[in-house]
Amino acid sequence: MYTGLEHSPVEGRRLWDEVYNITYQRIAAPEEKDIAGESAGSSSPRPLKNSTTSSSRLQTSWERLSFLDSILQGELPCDLEKSNCTYDILLLLRVLECLNQLSPRLRALEASDAFAEGKIINFQELKVKGPVVPQKQFLSSKLTPKLARQMQDPLAVFSGGLPSWCNQLTKACPFLFPFETRRQYFYSASFGLSRALQRLQQQQSAENSNLNNNLEVRVGRVQRQKVRVYRHRILDSAMKVMEIYGSHKAVLEVEYFGEVGTGLGPTLEFYTLLSHELQKKVLGMWRSGSCSKEAAVAENVEMWDVEQHGAFLHTNEVSKIPTVETEEFVQSPQGLFPRPWPPNADSLQGSQFSKAINYFHLLGQVMAKALQDGRLLDLPLSTAFYKLVLMQELDLFDIQSFDRELGTTLQEMDAFVRRKQFLESLDDDNGKALSDLLFHNARIDDLFLDFTLPGYPDYVLKSEGNNIMVHIDNLEEYISLVVDATVKTGIMPQMEAFRAGFNQVFSLSSLQIFTESELESLLCGGRELWAAQSLVDQIKFDHGYTSNSPSIVNLLEILGEFTPEQQGAFLRFVTGAPRLPPGGLAALNPKLTIVRKHSTGANGGIKGTAQATDRDLPSVMTCANYLKLPPYSCKEVMRERLMYAITEGQGSFDLS
């Protein structure tokens, strides 16, 4: 191995002009790897098992401490000696940051205690709000640039030689570093040498670095795996593709049968279409709120399989798909959350339940692959679901984040129970006070509740629960069982299937340096309201257009007037995905470019005339984020033609 003793020192770009021989051997890898020591090849497939040992292991992984308990247990997950004064400082910061996150919950508990003691008598007063310390106050202005410099060191990244403090601090105290820095560290340390190198080159290229362009070729280009699927069999296609290629290190690229489009655009749309498919109510994955019915055109779709030695999906036999007049999609304004299944669902509803489990396994694979390849999903998951992804335990107070009505009712019932217990603890004769206790002007008995899960009458909370009525003396048990069924036992198999699928691609523990909102941004990007003034600096104008061109001025005004829904449709038309990566439009890679489209005169008019131009439609190159825009005669015509193209130009990738 090169040590620097046999050769003269080489610096800068010349370092890569030499070829060095490195001798190495494989070592036995531990069963669980941390984020810094994990390579892209370390995640081998781990299929679901039914063995007793596997079930026991999954059960153990589910039984975790609450977020607060895990913080207050008094230890940091690092090698720092407890006798070191720095240890106490970091631990104190960790506790304070945790309390800051939990401050809304602590205020709710305080209000519940006040209700129990009779200090407040109105349930509306349980809804308390208060300030929290801005997260930026916890950032370290000295540690952040140190970590950034470590990630800019090619030798440290390539050799996996990042100092141990990088992993330990980002894991123990991630709040010390801004999201963007942790995001760069995540991509540098989680997916192996080739991807880390690619990320570093992209970042340095964006910063006008003079890094040798041949470096990627010498060290190794990220492999790409192409698959071809049928557009109208997205869900089945995804299951087969992930089964075969999910655990591969190669970047997945998707094409469609019967379409000539290739590259980034079709791949991004594949993830978008799959995101929508996974929201169908018929899959039995999510809690049902209201459902929207969307007409679907029935078509005959060819069945396919994957050859053992082929990389493309292709026709095996033709099978007619039954006509479907409506498709129901779960509508959840607060985000999607797993539907609870009773413990005996496997025996009572075996087929439907097992399919739901398989879909969650697929969801885990898809989410992990999207993160690994830098793709975006259009999946409105709830904050509580992201908490589960981050291995946090949920409780009563989390229910309100995905089902406001149920969560509010349960919190009010919990406060009602505390009031009853407080009255019972008094030495005075409290019989009359107890008999006068009313829940929203009604006795608990008059609510006619039984021990079944609200909204899911087939989910019996206890033996013969459908025949047992809820009253004031068993209300506490009822609340406990409903919470357990909603956020624990009822969703345990689904989440374990999700985690098993995710871990087939890379380790789920790598995500624990992020918060729930950051994970959503990482996975689904974000949406921001556009302003015409700011768009000028985020878009490139070329081939006949400048930022001062009349057509560009009109376009920027139109984009600035778009609603969030219209923005999503425009982005999907131009890029293939309805969302932007973290950082917004400025972070789009390749940069959104607007070029002039010359009139074809194909509609019988004179080539180049304003009338012929106004009949032309804008077109796109999704692989390069190119929008080809004709120089329309006025803003109104441009808006009409652009909206028509956005609305009608979906569902196929052809040459333009």
Instruction: Please report the pLDDT score of residue 176 as a whole number.
Output: 96
DSSP β-ladder status, 626-629 and 593-596: parallel
CA distance linking residue 126 with residue 636, whole number of Å: 51
Please answer whether residues 247 and 45 qualify as being in contact, where contact means their C-beta atoms are separated by less than 8 angstroms: yes
Domain with CATH 3.90.1750 in the chain: 223-383
pLDDT of the residue at 34: 47
pLDDT value of position 564 = 84
Helix (H, G, I), strand (E, B) or coil at 323: coil
142-159: pLDDT as tens digits? 999 999 998 888 777 777
3-state helix, strand, coil in the chain (%, to 5): 50, 10, 40
Low-confidence ranges of the chain (pLDDT < 70): 1-20, 28-74, 203-220, 289-327, 600-610, 649-656
Cα–Cα distance for residue pair 305/236, rounded to 1 Å: 10
CATH topology assigned to domain 527-648: Hect, E3 ligase catalytic fold (3.30.2410)
Query: Which stretches of 31-84 are assigned E, i.e. beta strand?
Result: none
Least Cα distance to 651 among 399, 334, 176, 273 occurs for 273
Residue 214's pLDDT is: 45
What gap in Å lies between CA 234 and CA 275, rounded to an integer? 10
Region(s) of the chain under CATH 3.30.2410.10:
527-648
Concatenating the DSSP letter of every residue in 541-552 gives EESS--TT-HHH
Q: How many CB atoms lie within 10 A of CB 121?
A: 9
pTM above 0.85, yes or no: no
Phi, psi of 415 (to 5 degrees): -65, -35
Confidence at residue 454, expressed as pLDDT on a 0 to 100 scale: 94
Query: Is residue 623 annotated as a catalytic residue, yes or no?
Result: yes
Residue 427: predicted pLDDT: 72
Between the alpha carbon of residue 19 and those of residues 4, 10, 22, 212, the distances in Å are: 13, 12, 10, 15
Q: What is the distance between the alpha carbons of residues 338 and 284, in angstroms, rounded to a whole number? A: 9
Residue 630 CA to its chain's centroid (Å): 37
Element (H, E) at 277: helix 264-277
Per-position b or e across 334-356, b if 16+ CB within 10 A of its CB: bbbbbbbbbeebeeebeeebeeb
Catalytic residue among 166, 173, 524, 623: 623
Contact assessment for residue 451 and residue 465, using Cβ atoms and an 8 Å cutoff:
yes
Closest CA to 385 of 286, 282, 271: 286
Closest CA to 340 of 436, 459, 460, 236: 459
What pLDDT score does 619 carry? 85
| Fold assignment, 223-383 | Hect, E3 ligase catalytic domain fold (3.90.1750)
